[in-house]
Amino acid sequence: MATVTLTVKNFDEVAQAEGIVLVDFWAEWCGPCKRFAPVFERSAGKHDDITFAKVDTDAEPELSERFGIRSIPTLMAIRDGMIVFAEPGALPESVLENVIEQVRGLDMADVRRRAES
């Protein structure tokens, strides 16, 4: 599946859909972002049931500010409209795959209960 470009206009629509959305916050000038991009793309090719999306932090500074992005690349995982993971740094492929499996395995009823308390 091709990655989706997220903007202020479409972020909430994509992020609040059911299922998993992985968001890569990046910038063209960022070396670690360029090294992470092929890892992200390969993973997108393996997981048709996940939406892989990218936010260009230079083009979308409002989104960076909204989510407190201070370092790029930052990977954010959203499941069923809830942010369940956010971490800066270019992840190795094995770690990215591990994050995906952990996000898949979450008990979302439990996650919602914990978020409400």
Q: Where residue 95 sits, what CATH number does that domain have?
A: 3.40.30.10
Task: Reply yes or no on whether 30 is catalytic.
Answer: yes
Query: Which of the following is catalytic: 20, 21, 22, 33?
Result: 33
**Domain residues for 23?**
4-116
Strands 74-79 and 50-56 turn out to be unpaired
Question: Does pLDDT of 86 surpass 80?
Answer: yes
The helix (H) or strand (E) run that includes residue 7 is: none
Query: Which of the following is catalytic: 30, 39, 53, 77?
Result: 30
Task: Reply yes or no on whether 6 is catalytic.
Answer: no
Kindly report, residue by residue over 2-55, the tens digit of the pLDDT.
689 999 999 999 999 999 999 999 999 999 999 999 999 999 999 999 999 999
* Domain tally, the chain: 1
Dist CA 39 CA 55 (whole Å): 16
Q: φ and ψ at 46, to 5 degrees?
A: -95, -20
pTM for this predicted structure: 0.94
